[in-house]
Amino acid sequence: MFKIQTLNKISAKGLNEFPREDYEVASSLQDADAILVRSQDMHQMDLPGTVKAVARAGAGTNNIPIPEFTKKGIVVFNTPGANANAVKELVILGILLASRPVIKANKWVNGLAGKGDEIAELAEKGKSQFVGPEIKGKKLGVIGLGAIGAMVANAAVDLGMEVIGYDPFLSVASAWRLNHNVKHAETLDTLLAKADYITIHVPQTNDTKGLINASTLRIMKDGVRIINIARGGLVNNADLLEALNSGKVECVVTDFAAEEILNNDKVICLPHLGASTPEAEENCAVMAVKQLRDFLEFGNITNSVNYPKCVSDNPIPAGGTRLCISHANTSGIVAKFTTILGDAKMNIAGMINQNRGELAYNIIDVDGIVPEETLRALATVETVTKVRPIFGKK
């Protein structure tokens, strides 16, 4: 019986993916095997040693202390792409809101309440103050062409925009998803100099924090419109305010509220609505649960933010053992595993070793039940952080 602790309200559609005969799921559990989380801050949490994995029902993992968990051998999953359509739709809405001042117009026309028969004439006379450009034929710069960026780029092409994309790490899979009309910018500066609208779709890292700053803003066209539904830290708000005040930036739509940008006539600030649709919450929950099950039941890792992808298509040997071992990516470690298993007269039926930077992960299938003393010997090999046996059914 696996124990799953939930730290936030998780979609029932996702939780229903856990077979109740094999899983206990609750918000308060002792000795949980895994944790499901959405937005709760885990940085100050003291996890029990039983925790093997944390799954974030969403793409961002800023609320999870990944380096600390990695040292403990805890695999951290996220759900890239599960909320992509919801975010894409909000970005397209943001582009339209940045163009046509409909929010200001709505507030103004509501102020005509009580004017009775005069309202229609007053509205007609006052509409000229809310003129905004069409997006058709305008240039949209998309920074980051992953699951969401690619969907935004394709939707913008369908709306008649000229789309320029920049992504130095563009994968083959992402490239295949792109409409052939999306133009590729060789450098970020090229995109910034050409775009009438800019939308950001990169993760927040040490390299991307403050990506939109005084230097990059200086390169942009006068009157540029910026949409940020990715991460608040990608934009330096102090530099942005200067650009708004000078007229360099005409409008900003952001999903990240901050004191310094609230109540600015040129800023449309939303309360982190990017994935706030029932469909996105369900998709993220289902994806997170399936990844946890695949890991807990079979040792497979997909969409981990700290460990390499490692998937075995083979069944666990009947009456045998699947060893899931995480360790530092240093030479000679795998040879020590095979020596220990050989000394214990255990036959290796299959082995997969994958690495990601300084980390490595192994799936080793062994005929027969690996005894406790052998598991302890494997765990004492230098740099090993976790040894987890999964026993096959007879």
pLDDT at 59: 82
- CA 271, distance to chain mean position in Å, is 18
What's CA 105's distance to the chain center, in Å?
34
The H or E element that residue 140 is part of is strand 139-143
Q: How far apart are CA 50 and CA 34, in angstroms?
A: 8
Sheet holding 321-328: strands in order across? Answer: 347-356, 359-367, 321-328, 384-391
Whether 321 and 393 have beta carbons less than 8 Å apart is answered as no
With both helix axes pointing from N to C terminus, report the angle between 147-158 and 84-99 in degrees, rounded to the nearest 10.
50
| Whether 305 contacts 62, CB under 8 Å | no
Distance CA(22)–CA(3), nearest Å, equals 9
Query: For every one of its 394 residues, what pLDDT tens digit does the chain have, with 9 covering 90 and above?
Result: 999 999 989 999 999 999 999 999 999 888 999 999 998 999 999 999 999 999 999 888 889 999 999 999 999 999 988 999 999 999 999 999 999 999 999 999 999 999 999 999 999 999 999 999 999 999 999 999 998 999 999 999 999 999 999 999 888 888 899 999 999 999 999 999 999 999 999 988 899 999 999 999 999 999 999 999 999 999 999 999 999 999 999 999 999 999 999 999 999 999 999 988 999 999 999 999 999 999 999 999 999 999 999 999 999 999 999 999 999 999 999 999 999 999 999 999 999 999 999 999 999 999 999 999 999 999 999 999 999 999 998 7
| Cβ–Cβ under 8 Å, residues 320 and 95 | no
For 18-23, the CB contacts below 8 A with 24+ separation are 18/289, 18/293
3-class secondary-structure state, position 332: coil
The 8-class DSSP code of residue 113 comes to T
Catalytic residues: 231, 259, 272
Q: How far apart are CA 292 and CA 97, in angstroms?
A: 39
Distance CA 272, CA 274 (A): 6
Q: In this structure, what token pair is assigned to residue 164?
A: 């320029």
Give burial (CB, 10 Å; 0-12/13-18/19+) of 129. exposed
Inter-CA distances, 184 with 100, 180, 192, Å: 28, 10, 12
Instruction: Supply the pLDDT for residue 80.
Output: 87
Residue 235: phi, psi to the nearest 5? -120, 130
Q: Let me know: does 252 contact 232? Beta carbons within 8 Å.
A: no
Q: Are strands 384-391 and 321-328 parallel, antiparallel or unpaired?
A: antiparallel
256/245 Cα distance (integer angstroms): 20
Q: Are 310 and 327 in contact (CB under 8 A)?
A: no
Contacts of 80 (CB under 8 A, 6+ apart): 59, 146, 147, 303
Contact 348, 365 (CB under 8 A): yes
* Both structure tokens of 299: 């040792």
Which DSSP string corresponds to 37-92? ESS---TT----TT--EEEESSS--TTS-HHHHHHTT-EEE--TTTTHHHHHHHHH
Supply the DSSP symbol for 202: -
What pTM did the predictor assign? 0.81
| Token pair for 111 | 């102020």
Contact of 4 with 33, CB cutoff 8 Å: yes
Look-up of token digits 């229903």: 16
